Amino acid sequence: MATLLDISQPHLHVPTTPFRNEPLTDFGNAENARKMKAALTKVRAELGREYDMVIGEKLIKTKEKIKSVNPAKPSEVVGVFQSAGREHVEPAIAAAQQAFETWKRTSVEQRASLLHTVAGILRERKFEFAAWMVFEVGKNWAEADADIAETIDFAEFYAREALRLAQAKTPTQLPGEADRLIYIPLGVAAVIPPWNFPCAIMAGMTMAAIVTGNTVVMKPSHDSPAIAAKFFEVLQEAGMPDGVVNFCPGSGSTFGAGLVEHPLTRFVAFTGSKEVGLDINQRAAKPQPGQKWIKRTILEMGGKDSIIVADDANLDAAVEGVAQAAFGFQGQKCSACSRAIVDEKIYDVFLERLKDRVAKITVGDPTENKPMGPVVNEKAMKSILDYIEVGKKEGRLIHGGGRAKEAGDGYFIQPTVIADIPPMARISQEEIFGPVLAVIKARNFEDALAIANNTEFGLTGAVYSTSRDKLERARTDFHVGNLYFNRKCTGAMVGAHPFGGFNMSGTDSKAGGPDYLLLFTQAKSVAEKIGDAGPVEDSMNRKGEESR
């Protein structure tokens, strides 16, 4: 049983230095490559083990199981997990609610210390965590390393942000009063993360919740429960008390829906598809018997992200940026470039250079660090292949167009580029979430901006141009939550690029930014009369009563 950290204990580690992003690993360095290979060997030896569900201090097994498999080798089982059902909702919420009564009263220094300790453990185990992502979701080494680096960033950043938030002051101090603004925790959170950033997003939402004093029922994705289990073990090692986070893999339609609907669930933090996000929003909006609050939803959903290539762009930089953003991690990022919108003056030469660049991308087993690995599962593969067939009818196939069978028996798909796509075509409007890029011809920059804004989403976007006027126009009129100039539209960095989108891309939560922890708290204003304020105090009170 984990024990609560004590503020008086000398091992309490509160971050005091300014936040710095965790450096990425250079795998061109022979020693780093050796460490990664050793980590892959270590993790391979641990594949196939069974993990318990953890509710409070109880380890639970269920009759039904969830099997996580390696998408590069579907016959290889990464781990076996318990499957939480509707019957586990009540005990999970009860355990989190019980822990909340103590956790909400812990000092912010204690909670920040927990995250700081987590960051230290993750640094020591970076290669191991990256190896788990290689096996479980098919990330290559660099993508997996970036994921664990972002996880460390979230731990360090949110620890410091919680300390900063605890020092908040009211804009005005009235004469004769001591006025304070206190950000207090909300309560029990349902945290429902995706599989595509299986460590960073899962851990980021969880740590934001607990560092602000909330408790969590975590329901990881069916496709990445092993990484969530390993992170849960790190929380325990760091000293997290029982029940502060409860590890509950399970069905979205039964356990997940039950969590969202439960009257003691105070808020839901979700990252995933538009369809599931909207369903959560609708379920959370309906009050249940005994519910005392309006549930809060923190929703990060899909994208249909565009890179505009203006006629004055640096073509080499634009081609490289589009290729990396479209095909990094097999296009399985909500921020991925799925549409290149190119000025007609440079359209043909851009296509020619892009075709040559994409042809250099090799597909294969990510344990061998191939640039592109598999998509996450068979269902995703079939859906992506169906979209490719639609795209072949809507436009002109430039590269790819099917399975990469030479890569093996996994869920491998060729990087696919389809040109001459109409702006309102299906593959221009619908989220594919795979290695498929639609290239659209624009008459001019004005037309390109109109096309970029013509979807229901508004997550990321980029513009390649050497014109300051065009960039400033895009700054105002390109309607996305994260906009980049002369660089790719993926790769948001904690602290520098607070992340979250507009429209059907979610509630613009801005993870990794200075506003994020506010979503996990509620502000309590406390005013105390001090000294002898006399008639002035009474006058001010009367004015307050009249206006509020």
For the annotated catalytic residues, the residue numbers are 300, 334
Distance CA 388, CA 369 (A): 26
Pick the closest to residue 199 from 257, 251, 121 (CA basis).
121
Distance CA 304, CA 91 (A): 39
Distance CA 495, CA 18 (A): 11
- Please, is 107 exposed, middle or buried when counting C-beta atoms within 10 Å of its C-beta (0-12, 13-18, 19+)? middle
- 211: DSSP letter: H
Structure tokens at 314: 């640096």
Per DSSP, the residues of 401-469 read -SB-GGG-SSS-B--EEEES--TTSHHHHS---SSEEEEEEESSHHHHHHHHT-SSEESEEEEE-S-HH
User: Strand 65-70 relative to strand 73-82: parallel, antiparallel, unpaired?
Assistant: antiparallel
Structure tokens at 300: 């990060």
Residue 495's SS3 state is coil
CB 111 within 8 A of CB 520: no
Question: Sign of torsion, CA 39 42 47 50?
Answer: negative
Structure tokens at 249: 């893999």
Per DSSP, the residues of 97-157 read HHHHHHHTTS-HHHHHHHHHHHHHHHHHTHHHHHHHHHHHH---HHHHHHHHHHHHHHHHH
Per DSSP, the residues of 349-361 read HHHHHHHHHHHT-
- How far, in Å, are 264, 356, 362, 402, 411 from residue 406 at the CA level? 51, 20, 10, 11, 11
- Taking residue 290's Cβ as centre, other Cβ atoms within 10 Å add up to 8
- Please, is 179 exposed, middle or buried when counting C-beta atoms within 10 Å of its C-beta (0-12, 13-18, 19+)? middle
